[in-house]
Chain A
Amino acid sequence: MGSCRLYAAVAAGGFRRYATYRSATAAGVFTNTVFGFIVAYTYLALWDERPGLGGYDQAQALTYVWIGQALAQALSMFNAGFAVDMVARIRNGDIAVDLYRPVDLQLWYLAGDLGRAVFQLFSRGLVPLTVGALAFPLALPGDPVVWLEFLVAVALAVVVSFAIRYVLALSAFWLLDGSGVLQFGGLVGMFFTGLLLPLNAMPGALGDIARVLPWASLLQMPADILLGARSGAAEVLMAYAFQAGWAVVLLAAGRLLQSSATRKVVLQGG
């Protein structure tokens, strides 16, 4: 019970940390909105040529764009977030202090990241989506149940996104400088998340691969639920199972890497 309160406090700290920078938040909202417009127009041109591409009609494709811009920060699609701090702490050795604390390192970082995600979902998510809905004919559902199903998928997506970055950050134990891995992982991730082109619309084998990678949990699953491309209990549960499966695998991989890294630190003699 006591540890629950502790992680809740860490999550609240994550929320407050990001809520402090108001002009940075405003700048981010502006940028997401501008990108939303640019990408929306390119999609209009593409769906004009290929109506129904990826199983989406034009309104659904436009909605996909704005959901992507609304979730980009909450799901850390461009920046590694906590992983940058963690890599720095691994490099300068402070991580040894973190490991010595009577808290679970992975849960500690996860709680902080969830707090951040909640703040960014509402601050940086709502405005671009609203502007998009005013400027373009979007296919947003009226049924609150669908929105609730969508939010559950977003929560699972945040956990998968966290788990991916945690594994990338741990690579710093072996590489000494993990910033290159984070940068590369982030950009490859952005591509396979489908922020630039929906995974449904990617051609051939590339599309088949992209749809089973962990990044498919981030944007494609929540978007498909909100767009009604996955509806009904069975299909929604399938999407959740896909996300939860990757979350479990990646969190477990993070634990495994962490314990072997800790053994390595001990071997070096501190």
Chain B
Amino acid sequence: MWIRSTLVYRTSFAAAVLTNFLVTALDFVVIWMMFSQATSLGGYSFAETAFLYGTASVSFGITALLLGSVDDLGLRVRDGSLDAFLVRPAPVLVQVAADRFGLRRLGRFLQGALVLGWSLTRLDLDWTPAKLLLLPVMLLSGAAIFGAVYVAGAAFQFWAQDAAEAQSAFTFGGLTLLQYPPTVFARDFVIGVTFVVPLAFVNWLPALYVLGRPYPVGLPWWLAFTPPLVAAGSCALAGLAWRAGVRSYRSTGS
């Protein structure tokens, strides 16, 4: 319904997708400007960084498209509109995600895909079947990991209703982090996003295998193939957090 209502106004929809595309492109412009001043960043070339940027943005773009509405959960708790979802015979999470479904968010996905495609034409990689297979697996698992972060963040808002902004540190912050090479960041930071919030599995670990780059903090190479498992695990944990959130929910005014 939200898609149909959006598509009724074709020009307006096209303008919204284009705006989303241009606005998300600005962070790639920043990376481009950095490389116009330096030939490498943390030892990585522009094409390699663009590959990291593209993979992170495509995964995030898929998640934002499907779950982008989830982060106003705190607002729904505050104004009581969540109550309507609880009495309907459909999963609450699906309803929250589908309400105000923003097809305009396609812009970010398209922009990421374009940068990823460009980087692939510039990189000189020896493709193996394993690497070819890893690429789509990485993009989808990455989207699932970002999705788990979104849902866990939304679940947190059942308790801290006006703390939606803290979620941005993990979603948009995570995206920004993964758009740069891991060698840029301090060792403790990389350990944190590998073992505490498993963002490194979104693209860093599989992408470094595809690029044939050494791993940060001495991690083994086969971790490149674990993103689906990590995705499944994080989604399960996020699901538990969400259930706990829904159970503890006591409408407004109590």
Chain A positions within 8 Å of B, measured between CB atoms, are 21, 23-24, 26-28, 30-31, 34-35, 37-39, 41-42, 44-46, 49-50, 53, 180, 183-184, 187-188, 190-191, 196-197, 201-204, 206
Residue from the list B15, B37, B165, B183 in contact with A203, Cβ < 8 A? B37
Number of interface residues of B (CB under 8 A): 35
User: What chain A residues lie within 8 Å of B168 (beta carbons)?
Assistant: 31
Q: Which of B39-47, B60-68, B140-148 contacts A (4 or more CB under 8 A)?
A: B39-47
Q: List 17 A-B contacts (CB under 8 A).
A: A23-B162, A24-B163, A27-B165, A35-B173, A35-B176, A41-B185, A41-B189, A42-B41, A42-B184, A45-B184, A46-B34, A49-B40, A180-B15, A187-B26, A196-B26, A201-B33, A204-B36
If A30-B169, A49-B40, A50-B38 touch, does A183 touch B19 (CB 8 Å cutoff)? yes
User: What chain A residues lie within 8 Å of B163 (beta carbons)?
Assistant: 23-24, 26-27
B residues 139-190 touching A (CB-CB < 8 Å): 160-166, 168-169, 173, 176-177, 180, 183-186, 189
User: What chain A residues lie within 8 Å of B183 (beta carbons)?
Assistant: 45
B133 at interface by CB-CB < 8 Å = no
A65 to B162, CA, bound (A): 26
Residue from the list B27, B41, B165, B186 in contact with A196, Cβ < 8 A? B27
User: What chain A residues lie within 8 Å of B160 (beta carbons)?
Assistant: 23, 27
User: What chain B residues lie within 8 Å of A23 (beta carbons)?
Assistant: 160-163
Q: Please state if B19 and A180 are interface contacts (CB–CB under 8 Å).
A: yes
User: What chain A residues lie within 8 Å of B164 (beta carbons)?
Assistant: 24, 27
A24 to B167, CA, bound (A): 11
B30 at interface by CB-CB < 8 Å = yes
User: What chain B residues lie within 8 Å of A27 (beta carbons)?
Assistant: 160, 162-166
Interface centre among A39, A42, A44, A197 (most CB of B within 10 A): A42
A1 to B187, CA, bound (A): 59
User: What chain B residues lie within 8 Å of A39 (beta carbons)?
Assistant: 176
By beta carbon, the residue of chain B nearest A202 is B33
B132 at interface by CB-CB < 8 Å = no
Q: Please state if A184 and B19 are interface contacts (CB–CB under 8 Å).
A: yes
Closest 4 CB pairs of A and B: A49-B38, A27-B166, A27-B163, A34-B169
Q: Please state if B37 and A46 are interface contacts (CB–CB under 8 Å).
A: yes
- Expressed in whole angstroms, the minimum distance between the Cβ of A32 and any Cβ of chain B is 9
B16 at interface by CB-CB < 8 Å = yes
- Expressed in whole angstroms, the minimum distance between the Cβ of A211 and any Cβ of chain B is 14
Q: Please state if B26 and A41 are interface contacts (CB–CB under 8 Å).
A: no
User: What chain B residues lie within 8 Å of A30 (beta carbons)?
Assistant: 165-166, 169
Chain B 17-59, CB-CB to A under 8 Å as 1, else 0, gives 0010001001101100110111111100000000000000000
User: What chain B residues lie within 8 Å of A196 (beta carbons)?
Assistant: 26-27, 30
- Expressed in whole angstroms, the minimum distance between the Cβ of B152 and any Cβ of chain A is 15
A180 to B14, CA, bound (A): 13
Q: A27-B163, A35-B176, A41-B180 are in contact. List 19 more A-B contacts (CB 8 A).
A: A21-B162, A23-B162, A24-B162, A24-B163, A24-B164, A24-B165, A26-B163, A27-B166, A31-B165, A41-B186, A41-B189, A45-B42, A45-B183, A46-B38, A50-B37, A50-B38, A183-B19, A203-B36, A204-B36
